[in-house]
Amino acid sequence: MARFTRTQILERLRSQLEQRRPIVGAGSSSGLIARSAAAGGADLIIVYNTGRTRLMGLATNHLLNHANPTTLGMYREIANTVRDTPIIGGAEAQDPTYWNDIDRLIDDYQAAGYDGLINFPTSFAQPDRNDVGLGLQLDFEMVKRARERDFFTICYGYTAEQTQGLAAAGADVVVPHAGWTTGGLAGAGKSAMNLEESCRHVQHLIELARKENPDIICLAHGGPLSSPEDLQYLYDTTDAQGFLGASSAERIPVERAVLETVAAFQSYTPRVALQAK
Amino acid sequence: MTITSIPERDFTRAQIIDRLNATLAAQRPIVSVAAGVGIIAKCAEVAGADLIFVHANSRSRNLGVPTSIYIGNPIDMTLSMYPEIDNVVDRTPIIAGIDATDGQRRRLFRVIDDYVARGINGITNFPTALAYTGNWGRARNDVGMGSDRELELLAEARRREIFTVGQAYDAGFAADLAAAGADLIIARCGLTQGGAVGPSPDAESSLSPEAAADHVQAVIESARAANPDVFVIAHGGPFARPADTEHLYANTDVQGIHAESAIERIPVEEYVAAEIASFKSPVLRA
């Protein structure tokens, strides 16, 4: 069962904000990444089904596996290396195998050991899913039920409708999503927003969320937000209180680690190679 | 026949040997990298690693626990990790480990057939029964499932012109591996020291850089007595970071480094932690 209550998690996050320290959530899909992110001071460890695709060396993709069983199955590896940081699971409310059964979905995440939920993956712009009862309303229902059960929730908001709805449903944290992360070997390209556009978009969604709940904690994610410099700009120009990194936590630094370390190993020459012709 | 824009990854034994010789001729070390997940293998290729290894102990490093082998059947774990490595490596030979002492797979030739059919470019006796202290790996020869099977594995692969790598914890076995036909020997110096879950340099089992270099040189001399052309690279122990190889290269005839924890564990630990710490460093506006 969960190691942290909703109240305990909120106290931890609020104490960071009181010190004007940004909240950092780190997408972590292996025990190695999770241990390292926690050692670096992550406030929240977030487990997504998409993380497996990042570790496979692919561009992030949420469609290569069945999200809920994948995320539920990942908990044990993460919990094995993280003891003192809340672990949040990406739960897909729109999963047809939990049709009309959001309580069972929450039960499964609690039984697995997760300390809270984030609505991921989520679709927000597919009217045909709404028409068959498997659309965005289920995200709202999941957050509402989790809140009634005093289970911590984080919500990604891609659009105004989604962000407002999730805040109104009782989300503890909302994360305006600025799109697919740029940078590294497998990041978004021309389709991405630039930094200024992203920050304006984030601020717009924060203002909508705060209208529904003035106390909601507002983070940001994605797009060009992937370096400390980008984040300082974000904090200087918006009311964002932190950042969820996924590719920027478990893809881009791993790529750099390998590229730079292999190159460093190549820079020393064996004496036998000096004699080679 | 190529039916898509992504070609097969073909390497003959001769091409792999040429590749290693070309690296040395360019006055560079052979750098081989163990990868248990695609992102490590992909980046190792981009960085120009000479060989990429898939073997069972990578799983434990990605779990974030001290390097371990028997948290599953080694061949099953290797073959379950391999497809995602294969998927992202196009220009670098992939060498995969076979536990020749797996009693569930008595017909080694079938295991080799299976590996070759999957597109694996070379094989190695990993894990080796001689990784364990005491007499276990040799005593198991009494029941036909000891270290002699590893020599059979390499000899059979060599007979088929498959590139072979021998894993040697001691100089005597290095000579046996070289005689059996190994193209490259990895001189193993124990668990890679340091990082979050490795032994400390002053742990009882940890070799000093001097002792480890002596061990590597003894492996080289023993292996070269059996086959003067065999390549020898070193793994682990105190040779955990790039700068640690300076002493190794200055004091031995070793030709490069095999990096396991040195690439897929310690740098990942440090880069990820540093990145997260940097995300905590900005100050929120009042």
Tell me the per-residue pLDDT of B23-81, one tens digit each, with 9 for 90 and over. Answer: 999 999 999 999 999 999 999 999 999 999 999 999 999 999 999 998 999 999 999 99
| pLDDT score at A60 | 78
Find chain A residues with C-beta within 8 A of B42's C-beta. Answer: 57, 185
Q: Return the number of other C-beta atoms located less than 10 Å from residue B200's C-beta.
A: 8
Q: Does B253 touch chain A if contact means CB atoms closer than 8 Å?
A: yes
Question: With an 8 Å Cβ cutoff, are B243 and A263 in contact?
Answer: no
Q: Is the dihedral of CA A145, A149, A150, A153 positive or negative?
A: negative
Indicate whether B1 pLDDT > 60: no
How far apart are alpha carbons A238 and A178 in whole angstroms?
13
Indicate whether A178 pLDDT > 60: yes
At position B41, the amino acid (one-letter code) is: A
Q: Does B6 touch chain A if contact means CB atoms closer than 8 Å?
A: no
Question: With an 8 Å Cβ cutoff, are B24 and A272 in contact?
Answer: yes
Indicate whether A255 pLDDT > 80: yes
| pLDDT score at A188 | 73
| pLDDT score at A187 | 74
| pLDDT score at A186 | 75
Across the range B248-271, mean pLDDT stands at: 98
| pLDDT score at B27 | 95
Give domain status of residue B1, yes or no.
Answer: no
Q: What is the pLDDT of residues B147-178, one digit of tens each?
A: 999 999 999 999 999 999 999 999 999 999 99
Question: With an 8 Å Cβ cutoff, are B242 and A24 in contact?
Answer: no
pLDDT bracket for residue A108 (50, 70, 90): very high
What's the CATH code of the domain at B265? 3.20.20.70
Across the range B221-242, mean pLDDT stands at: 98
Indicate whether B2 pLDDT > 70: no
Mean pLDDT, all residues of chain A:
92
- For residue A273, how far is the Cα from the chain centroid? 47
* ipTM topping 0.95: no
Q: What residues make up the domain containing B167?
A: 13-279
pLDDT bracket for residue A227 (50, 70, 90): confident
Across the range B104-128, mean pLDDT stands at: 97
| Residue B36 and residue B61 in contact, taking contact as beta carbons nearer than 8 Å | yes
pLDDT bracket for residue A59 (50, 70, 90): confident
Across the range A126-155, mean pLDDT stands at: 91
Residue of B30, B266, B279 to mutate, interface with A, max A Cβ within 10 Å: B279
Lowest mean pLDDT among A40-44, A114-118, B65-69: B65-69
Across the range B252-275, mean pLDDT stands at: 98
How far apart are alpha carbons B7 and A112 in whole angstroms?
42
Give domain status of residue B3, yes or no.
Answer: no
Give domain status of residue B5, yes or no.
Answer: no
pLDDT bracket for residue A69 (50, 70, 90): very high
pLDDT bracket for residue A180 (50, 70, 90): confident
Question: With an 8 Å Cβ cutoff, are A270 and B254 in contact?
Answer: yes
- Please state the domain count of chain B: 1
* Omega cis (within 30) before B74: no
Across the range B80-102, mean pLDDT stands at: 97
Across the range B258-273, mean pLDDT stands at: 98
Across the range B273-277, mean pLDDT stands at: 96
| pLDDT score at A62 | 78
DSSP string, chain A: --SS-HHHHHHHHHHHHHTTPPEEEEE--SHHHHHHHHHTT-SEEEE-TTHHHHHTTS---SSSS-HHHHHHHHHHHHHTT-SSS-EEEEE-TT-GGGTT-HHHHHHHHHHHT-SEEEE-S---S-HHHHHTT-STHHHHHHHHHHHHTT-EEEEEE-SHHHHHHHHHHT-SEEEEB--SPB-SSS-B-TTS--HHHHHHHHHHHHHHHHHH-TT-EE-BB-TT--SHHHHHHHHHHS---EEEESHHHHTHHHHHHHHHHHHHHHTS--HHHHH--
How far apart are alpha carbons B179 and B181 in whole angstroms?
5
Give domain status of residue B127, yes or no.
Answer: yes
Give domain status of residue B205, yes or no.
Answer: yes
Which value, in Å, is the radius of gyration of the alpha carbons in chain B? Answer: 19
| pLDDT score at A276 | 59
Q: B2-29 burial string, b = 16+ CB within 10 Å, else e? A: eeeeeeeeebebeebbebbeebbeeebb
Find chain A residues with C-beta within 8 A of B243's C-beta. Answer: 264, 268
DSSP string, A172-219: SEEEEB--SPB-SSS-B-TTS--HHHHHHHHHHHHHHHHHH-TT-EE-
Question: With an 8 Å Cβ cutoff, are B43 and A185 in contact?
Answer: yes
Residue of A61, A236, A266, A271 to mutate, interface with B, max B Cβ within 10 Å: A266
Which B residues 166-195 touch A at CB under 8 Å? none
| pLDDT score at A102 | 96
Question: With an 8 Å Cβ cutoff, are B282 and A232 in contact?
Answer: yes
How far apart are alpha carbons A126 and A134 in whole angstroms?
10
- For residue A159, how far is the Cα from the chain centroid? 16
Give domain status of residue B285, yes or no.
Answer: no
How far apart are alpha carbons A216 and A172 in whole angstroms?
6
Give domain status of residue B284, yes or no.
Answer: no
| pLDDT score at B167 | 97
Question: With an 8 Å Cβ cutoff, are A253 and B272 in contact?
Answer: yes
Element (H, E) at B158: helix B148-159
pLDDT bracket for residue B286 (50, 70, 90): confident
| Residue A174 and residue A155 in contact, taking contact as beta carbons nearer than 8 Å | yes
Q: Is the dihedral of CA B91, B36, B266, B169 positive or negative?
A: negative
pLDDT bracket for residue B285 (50, 70, 90): confident
How far apart are alpha carbons A56 and A50 in whole angstroms?
10
How far apart are alpha carbons A82 and A195 in whole angstroms?
33
φ/ψ of B133, rounded to 5, equals -70, 165
Give domain status of residue B256, yes or no.
Answer: yes
* Residue whose C-alpha is closest to residue B58's, from B268, B280, B270, B278: B268
Indicate whether A182 pLDDT > 80: no
